[in-house]
A and B are shown apart, each in its own frame.
Chain A
Amino acid sequence: MISVYYFGAIALILIGLYAILVKKNLLKILIGLSIMETGVNLLLISIGYVSGKSAPILSEGIGPSQAVDPIPQALVLTAIVIGVATTAMALSVAILIYEKYGTLNVEEIRRLRG
């Protein structure tokens, strides 16, 4: 029986991939990219989950043995920031494309050929 977390995360990745492959509007493609990144982050965080343990912060009553794996949380924190930076970069390029081409339809943005 596959865990619901894994199933959900992989479903999100596939939904994002589907949007990137099928949609024609550039902004919808970028939304797909964001959804895919969210799915990857969820997958990473669910790998570190240990059933019944609490957040990995040392405080009263919670020792090192009662916490979930802290490493994936550090990884996800980094990956979220990277994802936001990529999205910001992509959106600024999308603005530039709209200024130069007057459209966001990927089938009409075709000046570079060969």
Chain B
Amino acid sequence: MKVLVSVKRVVDYNVKVRVNADNSGVDLSNAKMSMNPFCEIAVEEAIRLKEKGIANEVVVVSVGPKAAQDTLRTALALGADRGILVETEEQVESLGVAKVLQKVVQEEQPGLVILGKQAIDSDNNQTGQMLAALTGMGQGTFASEVLVDGESVAVTREIDGGLQTVSLKLPAIVTTDLRLNEPRYASLPNIMKAKKKPLETKTPESLGVDVKPRVKVLKVEAPEARKAGVQVNSVAELVGKLKAEAGVI
């Protein structure tokens, strides 16, 4: 079975972003970028499926600027076999990415597609579900366990009250939650080897997809800052303040 994994290049999760003074967006000019943490988990799961002999090829795909090549190389260094970059300088939103991925799925015919549950920049949590809709496949979102068994896959999902397990007919779409696995690090020899692995470049136009945004961002502002708090020195003082000043107990 072929496994397709979609990865996104985002600002590193440890960076505290700043909003541009003109409210046009956030300032990413010198920010460290890396692979979205949920995508790392998706890549790891695909590689584990390969190590178990369930997957015979892992293809990684990214939609984004030329620099997203680095993100694909990272995935190749972790163990993916080849990469596809759908290059565009536009900010592509979830629906656009899902449409691009639908075309890639059509061409590649994977048995399973794995995505992260959300990207930590837009926090949308949409692409996997939209891809499932467009391809007419079943979806196992927020997965904390994935067990492929013949023609179906059992996905344990993190839902509000606990866990739910569903069985999906393959091919299917899975989106990863944090607890699915612990992603590995790339070793230096593998990083060198990844440079030789095939990386194909396409464009949304060559795939016949219109990625013009539907959701328009009119402005981006910094969140309201909280009023500075006070340090208390004892439990008694804390209880006193909560009762008298804050009135919450």
Chains A and B come from one and the same complex: no
Report B's interface with A, CB cutoff 8 A. none
Report A's interface with B, CB cutoff 8 A. none
